[in-house]
Structure 1
Amino acid sequence: MSAFDPKPILNSLPNLPGVYRFLAGNGDVLYVGKAVDLKRRVSSYFRGSGLSPRIQLMVGQIADIQTTVVRSEAEALILENNLIKALGPRYNILFRDDKSYPYLEISGHAAPRLAYHRGVLDRRNQYFGPFPNGYAVRESVHLLQRVFMLRTCEDTVFENRARPCLLYQIKRCSGPCVDAIKPEDYRRDVQQAVRFLEGRANDLIDELDAKMQAASAAWDFEAAARYRDRIQALARVQEKQFVVSSSTELDADVVGCVAESGMVCVNLVMIRGGRHVGDKSLFPSHGDGYEVEAALEAFLAQHYLDRAIPPLIICNAPDSQEMLAELLSEQAERRVHIVSNPIGERRVWLDMALKNAALAISQRLSLESTQLARLQALQEALRLPDSAQRIECFDISHTMGEATVASCVVYDRLAMQPREYRHYNIEGITPGDDYAAMRQVLTRRYGKVAQGEGAVPDLILIDGGKGQIGVAVEVIAEVGLTESLLVGVAKGESRKPGLEQLIVPSRGETVQLPRDSVALHLIQAIRDEAHRFAITGHRARRGKARVSSSLEQIDGIGTKRRQRLLTRFGGLQGVKAASIEDLCQVEGISRALAEKIYNALH
């Protein structure tokens, strides 16, 4: 037990519902919990018996206790999970799934647009989802384009089209921008797409079949052929749904939680309109050693805290979730059912989620085993301590000195950590001076780390030869970061993979690992990720800088003409795609000037 005496605090606690927080000596929050009776629940941690080793370790670090009294257990649950998400306590199960889930959007315009949407929902539009990932939305957009031929272009492009785009030519859009389809016919196609997304595909096919028969009886074979083609396209789309519910209007989330080999995984399956739209496996932070029931409760409370909630949630919780169902119903403003012992078709859904969760655990264990072998080999090759695991790698990217961007990627806990990646825009140097760029990024990064802001890496990799590593040595000495090993990754002869040389300046040696070394493979993977991330940042910065400058550099194009061009064609890419005749249609653009613009952009 800790030297901390909890009795004065425990004696003052009320027998009321609330949330408690255990704090370490340095002020960090160790654990956040909820209680129906604060006094009884908090006191249970200090009775000295019946506690798991994990909780005993936590109790030994407690230096203070803070509590907040609320009106009900439901309020306590909301506050608990808000605090868990905000504070990230070391001993709580934390599902870091911060990205908003994507939706398929049908806009509320006169000619509605079919689009991918992520973020705040606009009441003026219709949304279908959420989907587990962006790929599922884009696949649905492509399928709907082939069947219903709805537009996907931005509004600025749609409003300024003079002739139909390529999608019209390949029969992926019906061309409402140029009135190639009557407004009432386009609205009918939108309504049919909505019905399909709502899970009423069979009713829609029956209706189209009746119209096809009527058109055929009226000898309108062209219309009958169009109906036939749409029926066939819808049938192909249905075939692509490898899992379909017999309840065509079912909206549900299936949550299967598995705890194996000290690891917890939750597999979330999303069913919308009776169609399986995808699934996602989630691994909580600090979830090792927890039971399925605790992990499921944490997931359901945290995941739906600020997200859309389906009317049905199917899970494998062994106990009743009545209080949580009431809380979610209140949040959704309609009844939400949590079914923990499903039968029939719903049992099939849950079994599939549990199987996928178990498979995800086995895959992660296999991957971690491989990564552990790589890391241990790297520790041995570079004589790093056994505790070393955090690696940071830097690279510089630019185009002949333009829009220089430095990247820093992080490898830790046996995996790349994308949340900790950083881009650094390099300013105030001679264009193309990679040494100055490396000096700036390392100074900015490790100047803060030396002051206690951020984690100290065990190994710093520099993508470059002796020049870059020489600059890195100077910067590391200036900021006083002596505990990290600095290594330069120099490309070998003819820049072929496998011939890299590792420059270790602190030991005055150069190491060349065998081409089949797993340690070298780990370094290559981290170096390549830093290179990819640097190029991504550079292209984004360069593209942003060039949007206006490309037109500004053309004689005769001032602010007003540039604005008219960008408005007419929906941006620089639209201007580039325009022909000379299209450019001539813009106010203030003569044919001679249109030719000059066309030649400059091509």
Structure 2
Amino acid sequence: MPANEKLKEKISHLPHKPGIYKFFDDNGIIYVGKAVDIRKRVSSYFNRSAQHNKKTLKLVSQIKDIEFTIVDTEADAFLLENNLIKQYQPKYNILLKDGKTYPYICIVNERFPRVISTRNKINDGSRYFGPYPSGTTMHVVLDLIRTLYPLRTCTYNLSPENVAAGKFKVCLEYHIGNCKGPCEALVDETEYNAAISQIKNILSGNLSVAKNYFKERMAAAAADYQYEVAHQFKQKLDMLDDFQVKSTVVSNTLTNIDVFTITSNEDCAFINYLKVMNGSIILTQSLEIHKKLDEADADILASVVVQLRQEFESTSREVITNIELSLPLDSISITYPQIGDKKKLLNLSLKNALYLRKERESRQEKNKDLSEKRELRVLETMKKALRLTELPRQIECFDNSNFQGDNPVASMVCFKNGKPSKKDYRHYNIKTVVGANDFESMYEIVTRRYRRLLNENQPLPQLIIIDGGKGQLSMAVKALKELDVYGKIAVVGIAKRLEEIFYPGDALPLYIDKKSESLKLIQRLRNEAHRFAITFHRSKRDAGTLKTELTDIKGLGPKTAEALLAKFKSVKKLRELSQEELSEEIGKAKAALLYSYFHEAKEVE
């Protein structure tokens, strides 16, 4: 199926749900986008080409694969898109090109820490909170914190030595009450850090301390008849209530967590992995695992959890999953949430796993129907092209192989409904023919094959293909006549040079259209029979070489030869050994025989 047809097929199975989608070329992710309706949005890239600019057309021309992740709301898709863009940095996403990203609140790693806003998260020991869905939301929180706690905003290096030396003077911020003057040691460091600790609680989602503070200040102001001040604290209290935007994508109540969910059918397991760090989903991965045996879901998931955690360098100590799971990992807790934000996150992961399963099963069913229709069409075409009386649902093809008359062997391959049935393949050692006689060899193997089927009351094929010309075909016909099955099975020969099809008793060959699916199937059968015969012949020839080189030496048995080759891998390496080295392996007497054989052989050569 052409690449564009595969993409159309995949797009037709995309969900009408909010989420993100990822476009891939041969090297990886090239674009991440968000959508209220994933299928409609992705389809628009391919259905509205006249409305696209050159860059979009170039993007579409490079798409080789599409993946998606379902989320609950458009806002979740918006935030998840940003996380994935930062994670993968696709070349067609303009967000990173502009250096734009969502804002964080940062508690700077310094003495008398500042609390600032930033869009650049770096590993400098500072504490970051967010990201926030908008700058407005972030500034409300930041203003709230600065109103609650007088903090410094200057960038001075307030080391104990600099402060003690009196290098700095208080500024206007101190005089209007926004700063307590740490630059002149007017505030105790312990007191300042206590305020920073309360701020961390607020930004981490622990709002009770701040709420109690507001309520106390509001009550105190009202008791003192300062109603305007009380109203200001009431406004701040309302802001605090709106502070944390509840979302399955961003939630400060969820820190570093790995989420794994699994669902399965008889053939495959479908797994979704969400990696959550600092309250945000930074990675999503959906996997389809083909079962080798009848493995339990818990066994499959345990293996995948370990593999993916290593692959993505996860350090989280909590794994959320939807089934009972035992992990061979120290310090990892496994939870099965029933309510709350973790349950929402688990449901989101399971939703993706279930959708992957539904989409794959739907596609497999459709592909199965298409495959069966195609196979039936090819067989119908072959029946017509070869003038058969019945549909060739079982086809068997024979081929001979020998090298200068040595080790003659043969093979038979079987196709059922147009597909290889490898359990029915057969190798044959030629038993009744001496030397390279392809005609007599063909007679022998055809006789042996169908005599056995008749004796075992096994069904006969509808078509036999002989890899060879008129000579091999006539010997196959002779064998079938002697077994009294000629006329019950159609038989043809195929000559390699011009791909001619020969019929018994017909002097003129049949030429099938070179582009015909029937000829391609016949060629595939012929090539498979040839490959199968050659592989068997090579193994026989190698065994014969072993016999010629070593076991023909009088006094050297097959067990000794086998032991030597098992250790030294080749006769060439044995030739390079000294007689003393050989003696250590097989004793002096046999070493003398072998060394003498190699030495004399070299002189002759």
TM-score normalised according to structure 2 size: 0.41
Larger Rg: 2
Structure number with greater CO (CA < 8 Å, separation at least 6) is 1
